[in-house]
Amino acid sequence: MAKLRIDFVSDVVCPWCAVGLASLEQALRQLQGEVEADIHFQPFELDPTMPAGGMDVAENLKRKYGMDDAQLAENQARIRDRGAELGFTFDFNARSRTWNTFDAHRLLHWAEVEASERQLPLKRALLVANFSEGRDIGDPAVLVEVAAGVGLDAGRARAVLESGEFAEAVREAENFFQSLGISSVPAVIIEKRHLVSGGQPPEVFERALREIAAQQDKAG
């Protein structure tokens, strides 16, 4: 069975990142017995200048992308439908604000360093907290609760968030992936050289992973 490293570059307030992860995981279920994935979540901030208190999500999107109300509603409906197809719930009524995500990225980095098997469950839980439950994922108390909910140590999570721990590592990772030319997410990098961009359908990930695994078998 081929073991493939996957660097999933994304933000926890990026709806297409939630779609992309759900698609990737569905593809991996289809490839059970053929491909084993070693997934690493890498940081990308859609808006590093987002204030601590966040912003109204609709106003932010209309300002950033020049959408009007009708375009925004159409975009949200498309995202909601894609999520539903993959078993992920987007509740745009519950989520009225978008938040600064730097602390969430620090928490994800800590999870990989100290309990790598918990990083994927933490990423999933943060996406659910933001998109399905409309919680403030810029709030340290919420982040600690989400971390504890996936089996991470709440006291250690709180200590990380109260300090500047892992801030430099997150900035370095962000700069590294941007230096590779990544300017939008999700960006899914397989074996450090194959890029799948955007919230692709499961069959796109499945085909890419199968082809890369086959190449690895031939090389090995």
Q: What is the tens place of the pLDDT at every residue in 3-25?
A: 999 999 999 999 999 999 999 99
The pLDDT of residue 49 is above 70? yes
Determine phi and psi for 2, rounding to 5 degrees. -80, 140
CB neighbour list of residue 136: distance below 8 Å, 6 or more residues apart = 54, 97, 99, 142
Task: Give me the pLDDT at residue 96, please.
Answer: 87
pLDDT of res. 74: 95
- pLDDT confidence tier of residue 53, bands split at 50, 70 and 90: confident
**Of residues 101, 168, 169, 160, the one with CA closest to residue 129:** 101
Confidence of residue 157 (pLDDT cuts 50, 70, 90): very high
Residues of the chain above pLDDT 70, percent: 99
Residue with tokens 């909601």: 80
What is Dmax (Cα atoms) for the chain? Answer: 53
Could you tell me the residue ranges of all domains in the chain? 2-219
**Cα–Cα distance measured from residue 140 to residue 163, given in angstroms and rounded to the nearest whole number:** 11
Tens digit of each residue's pLDDT (9 = 90 or more) over 114-135? 999 999 999 999 999 999 999 9
Q: Is the pLDDT of residue 36 over 80?
A: yes
Residue 220 has pLDDT above 70, yes or no: no
Residue 43 in tokens = 């940081």
| Summary mean pLDDT of the chain | 95
Q: Report pLDDT for 95.
A: 86
Give pLDDT, residue 169: 98
Rounded Cα gap, residues 4 and 34, in angstroms: 11
What is the average per-residue pLDDT within 49-62?
91
Q: How many Cβ atoms are within 10 Å of 37's Cβ, its own excluded?
A: 20
- 2-219: CATH superfamily: Glutaredoxin (3.40.30.10)
- Shortest CA distance to 212 belongs to which of 49, 42, 47, 27? 27
Residue 219 burial (CB < 10 Å; 0-12/13-18/19+)? exposed
pLDDT at residue 139, as a whole number: 97
Q: Which of 114, 93, 98, 88 is nearest to 23 (CA)?
A: 88
In tens, the pLDDT along 166-204 reads 999 999 999 999 999 999 999 999 999 999 999 999 999
Q: Which of 84-88, 159-163, 216-220 is the least confident region?
A: 216-220
The percentage of the chain sitting over the pLDDT mark of 90, rounded to a whole number, equals 90
Q: Is pLDDT at 52 greater than 90 in this prediction?
A: no
The 3-state secondary structure of 49-75 reads CCCCCCEEHHHHHHHHHCCCHHHHHHH
